[in-house]
């Protein structure tokens, strides 16, 4: 319905929530009401092409409508179809004969508004939006940082220092009436925003002072979730306001992951460690394993194949800068061709429009190639769970990694605030349950409860498997956690004291409670109320510094749990007589059969024989099925000599996750001289960190070695390895000689090691290399050979850094 509005007020309402826009004071003002009481007053305005649209604005007309929508949530607080109904009013305003609009939404869980700029708009500057609440309000905030990793804390508004605060921020405006301020629906046409507090009001402050816009530009939604804490916890308003996903949107596989970085920061460089964490994920029945920094393309396919037999998917870490630009984005298709399921991208650390355009690019490319995304060092969720369901989680929180970086405990108070603030707006990759965290002030029960209290589309359990195994009750409970949730409720709590959250998976409820108080308290919950009848309960809590369990059957009354100081507990509630424990492990499946692990591209194509039902080929290759059941693979253009293409062979596996094997296709080497250090590895193993190309071994981190240097002389190319290493190359082709030097790097000047060269698996040359001596030269005949292996082992001492220098294959 559209009508002229000569009056100075228009309104929209939904149940007991009401929004009123007026222009009585010369500037448009929105008042938001809950149960007829004002909870927030918002002055409106934005600078466009050099002037403030809010000064002297007049209402021209308004149009009311009902927005009814539904969308499929693939992860989050409750999976399944979500139904949305909002009352919307579009208010047309005029300022100095310039027409612009304010669009207001009112829903069952809060309010939202946005600006539609004039058709002539070209430059948007300062936003004049100012949010005021009762001066006696209490706030839970974090000091603004573009990656949202400062501690959250509570403060009475009158005591809150003036400054910059990040979204979402929570305000208790009156008893059991709360407002959560955030935003939604951002892409590369805008920049992110935060709140500037002047001691009385919050001003919405975009990251960019000004941005170029097109006419009729729509700003992001400014969102005010409003209601009780129970309303806030269950709100999906930020997602509901976001644009709908496309019809072919990539749907993720949510679930639980093993992750080695937290307990061992250089572990991403070691295949054997990643297999150990994969084995634990298999024990637990989890879905994923994350390989953080340091992974090597030589062994990632092997890990993918190893994990796939148990239905476990592999995710890889990358810095955002390594995926910046069209050329770098091509890596994503390559990783997906290995069978990798997702990526964790890190260190974006910006809210600028330029960085949101980067987000647009990587979100589009990951969706195209079929990778899910977990953003770290990132912005907070702003509705992408709906628009881009394959964006499965974000960091945007001071999480467990801060134990590693700073050795400072994450306070229980900080943890308790999160379910009422940060986690309300979307998935939160805190990486919880770190029993071995140094100087931890939280109890074991508190740590275990974070697995339920916090929600993430992919939850990375951060501690070492042995820490979980040493607490069998914890390991058993973590195995029971479902990959997705059907419902969430706040049972009890307040951001200053504790949070008791219940999440339902089918007929079972999982309860987690974390406390912030330094004294012992008692928390109660009613299982029968959750189930709708008698219930069986399995609860795990703290007792004398250890986890203990209580099992109860046929419970009808409230259950009381004694909460240790800064403690917590978990519980599973099921209908009486239904099984409480249902965890199972997935049996290992046979991987597709392959006849050869390396085949040579001698002509225009190559045939691979396998019982696989599907193939993934790397970019630049195509595959067709032969009449005899084999696969013919053909490159779209001839690869460079020495190129080693990885082909993934798939067969049906667990939970629609294929079980895979790999074949490598070698483009033969030619007589032209080849720098061996630049060739791809068939396999690589190194005792200390990854094999370094063009650098000495260094420590355990990728690219941490110094220049290749022996007795003060620098070398331009080569490989830096440690005292235990093995590197295999495929060298089929017309080359006949392998030459180079081997030495101890100046990083370990007193070390001694053994260096060996194997041709087709046969030992051909062996050297004892000593620090402080000149490099030892070699020339090895390799004519007609298929593989070349460089191997090192310790001679005496604890550690040696060995350099393979100026390595060449030639005729």
Query: Which pair of tokens denotes residue 542?
Result: 């703290």
Q: Tell me how many degrees the CA angle 568-573-575 measures, rounded to the nearest 5.
A: 170
CA distances from 438 to 292, 339, 406 (A): 21, 36, 10
723 with 800: CB under 8 angstroms? yes
Q: Is 346 a catalytic residue?
A: yes
Coil, strand or helix: which one is 3?
strand
306 with 585: CB under 8 angstroms? no
Please name which of 248, 232, 119 lies closest in space to residue 171, comparing C-alpha atoms: 232
Please name which of 772, 765, 752 lies closest in space to residue 709, comparing C-alpha atoms: 772
Whether a cis peptide bond, with omega within 30° of 0, leads into 168 is: yes
Query: Which pair of tokens denotes residue 413?
Result: 């108070």
C-alpha–C-alpha distance, residues 740 and 718, integer Å = 9
482 with 255: CB under 8 angstroms? no
Element (H, E) at 484: none
Question: Which residue in this structure is represented by tokens 């030892």?
Answer: 776
Query: Which pair of tokens denotes residue 44?
Result: 């409106």
Q: What is the DSSP string of 228-285?
A: -HHHHHH--HHHHTSPPPPTTPPPP--EEEEE-TTT-TTGGG-HHHHHHHHHHHHHHT
Catalytic residue among 240, 401, 455, 464: 401
541 with 562: CB under 8 angstroms? yes
86 with 67: CB under 8 angstroms? yes
75 with 392: CB under 8 angstroms? yes
C-alpha–C-alpha distance, residues 22 and 592, integer Å = 68
Q: Tell me how many degrees the CA angle 801-464-513 measures, rounded to the nearest 5.
A: 150
C-alpha–C-alpha distance, residues 640 and 601, integer Å = 11
C-alpha–C-alpha distance, residues 439 and 462, integer Å = 16
- For residue 759, the number of C-alpha atoms closer than 13 Å in the C-beta half-sphere is 15
Q: Is 611 a catalytic residue?
A: no
C-alpha–C-alpha distance, residues 457 and 461, integer Å = 13
Catalytic residue among 231, 346, 447, 650: 346
Q: Tell me how many degrees the CA angle 682-806-751 measures, rounded to the nearest 5.
A: 85
Residues linked to residue 33 through DSSP beta bridges, in sequence order: 18, 38
75 with 381: CB under 8 angstroms? no
Please name which of 106, 84, 115, 104 lies closest in space to residue 34, comparing C-alpha atoms: 106
32 with 25: CB under 8 angstroms? no
Q: What are the backbone dihedrals phi and psi of residue 4, each rounded to the nearest 5 degrees, phi first?
A: -65, 150
Catalytic residue ranges: 346, 401
């Amino acid at each position: 319905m559209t009508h002229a509005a000569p009056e100075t007020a228009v309104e929209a309402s939904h149940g007991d929530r009401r929004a009123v826009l007026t222009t009585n004071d010369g500037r448009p003002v929105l008042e938001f009401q809950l149960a007829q009481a004002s909870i927030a007053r918002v002055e409106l305005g934005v600078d466009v092409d050099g002037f403030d649209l809010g000064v002297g604005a007049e209402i021209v007309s308004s149009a009311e409508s009902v927005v009814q929508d539904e969308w499929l949530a693939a992860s989050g607080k409750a999976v399944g179809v979500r139904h949305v109904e909002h009352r919307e009013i579009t208010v047309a305003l005029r300022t100095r004969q310039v027409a612009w609009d304010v669009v207001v939404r009112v829903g069952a869980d809060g309010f939202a508004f946005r600006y539609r700029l004039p058709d002539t708009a070209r430059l948007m500057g300062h936003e004049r939006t100012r949010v005021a609440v009762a001066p006696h309000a209490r706030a839970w905030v974090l000091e603004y940082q573009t990656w949202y990793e400062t501690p959250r804390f509570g403060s009475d508004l009158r005591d809150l220092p003036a400054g910059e605060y990040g979204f979402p921020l929570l305000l208790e405006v009156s008893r059991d009436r709360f407002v959560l301020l955030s935003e939604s629906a951002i892409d590369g046409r805008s920049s992110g925003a935060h709140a500037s507090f002047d001691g009385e009001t919050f001003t919405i402050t975009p990251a960019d002072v000004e941005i170029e816009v097109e006419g009729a530009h729509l700003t992001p939604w400014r969102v005010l979730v409003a209601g009780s804490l129970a309303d806030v916890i269950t709100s999906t308003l930020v997602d509901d306001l976001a644009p709908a996903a496309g019809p072919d949107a990539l749907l993720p596989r949510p679930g639980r992951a093993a992750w080695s970085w937290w307990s061992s920061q250089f572990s991403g460089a070691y295949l054997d460690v990643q297999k150990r964490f994969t084995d634990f994920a298999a024990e637990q029945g989890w879905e994923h394993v994350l390989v953080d920094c340091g992974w090597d393309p030589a062994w990632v396919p092997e890990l993918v194949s190893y994990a796939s037999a148990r239905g476990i998917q592999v995710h890889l870490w990358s810095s955002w800068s390594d995926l910046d630009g069209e050329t770098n984005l091509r890596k994503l298709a390559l990783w997906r061709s290995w069978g990798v399921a997702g990526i964790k991208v890190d260190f974006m650390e910006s809210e600028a429009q330029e960085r949101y355009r980067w987000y647009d690019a990587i979100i589009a490319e990951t969706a195209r190639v079929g990778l899910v995304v977990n953003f770290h060092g990132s912005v907070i969720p702003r509705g992408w769970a709906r628009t881009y369901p394959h964006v499965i989680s974000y960091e945007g929180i001071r999480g467990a990694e801060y134990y590693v970086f700073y050795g400072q405990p994450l306070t229980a108070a900080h943890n308790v605030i999160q379910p009422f603030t940060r986690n309300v707006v979307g998935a939160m990759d805190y990486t919880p349950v770190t029993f071995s965290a140094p100087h931890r002030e939280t109890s074991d029960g508190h740590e275990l409860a974070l697995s339920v209290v916090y929600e993430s589309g992919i939850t990375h359990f951060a501690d070492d498997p042995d820490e979980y195994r040493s607490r069998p009750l914890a390991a058993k409970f973590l195995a029971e956690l479902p990959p997705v949730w059907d419902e969430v409720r706040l049972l009890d709590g307040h951001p200053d004291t504790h949070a008791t959250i219940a999440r339902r998976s089918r007929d079972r409820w999982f309860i987690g409670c974390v406390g912030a108080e330094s004294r012992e308290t008692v928390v109660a919950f009613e299982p029968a109320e959750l189930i709708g009848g008698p219930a069986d309960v399995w609860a795990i809590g703290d007792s004398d510094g250890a986890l203990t369990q209580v099992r109860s059957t046929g419970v009808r009354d409230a259950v009381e749990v004694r909460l240790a100081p800064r403690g917590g507990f978990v519980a599973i509630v099921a209908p009486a007589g239904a099984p409480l424990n249902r965890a199972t492990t997935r049996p290992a499946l046979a991987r597709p059969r392959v006849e050869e692990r390396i085949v040579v591209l001698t002509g225009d194509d190559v045939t691979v024989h396998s019982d696989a039902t599907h193939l993934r080929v790397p970019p630049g290759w195509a595959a067709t099925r032969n009449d005899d059941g084999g696969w013919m693979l053909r490159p779209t253009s001839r690869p460079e000599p020495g190129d080693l293409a990885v082909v993934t062979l798939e067969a049906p596996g667990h939970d629609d996750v294929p079980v895979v094997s790999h074949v490598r296709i070698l483009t033969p080497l030619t007589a032209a001289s080849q720098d061996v250090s630049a060739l791809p590895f068939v396999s690589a193993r190194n005792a200390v960190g990854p094999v370094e190309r063009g650098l000495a071994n260094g420590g355990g981190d990728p690219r941490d070695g110094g220049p290749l240097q022996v007795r003060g002389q620098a070398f331009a190319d080569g490989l830096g390895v440690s005292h235990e290493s093995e590197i295999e190359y495929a060298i089929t082709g017309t080359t006949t000689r392998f030459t180079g030097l081997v030495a101890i790097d100046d990083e370990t000047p007193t070390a001694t090691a053994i260096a060996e060269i194997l041709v087709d698996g046969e030992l051909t040359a062996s050297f004892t290399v000593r620090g402080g001596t000149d490099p030892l030269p070699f020339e090895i005949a390799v004519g007609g050979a298929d593989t070349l292996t460089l191997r090192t082992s310790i001679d005496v001492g604890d550690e040696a850094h060995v350099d393979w220098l100026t390595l060449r294959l030639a005729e």
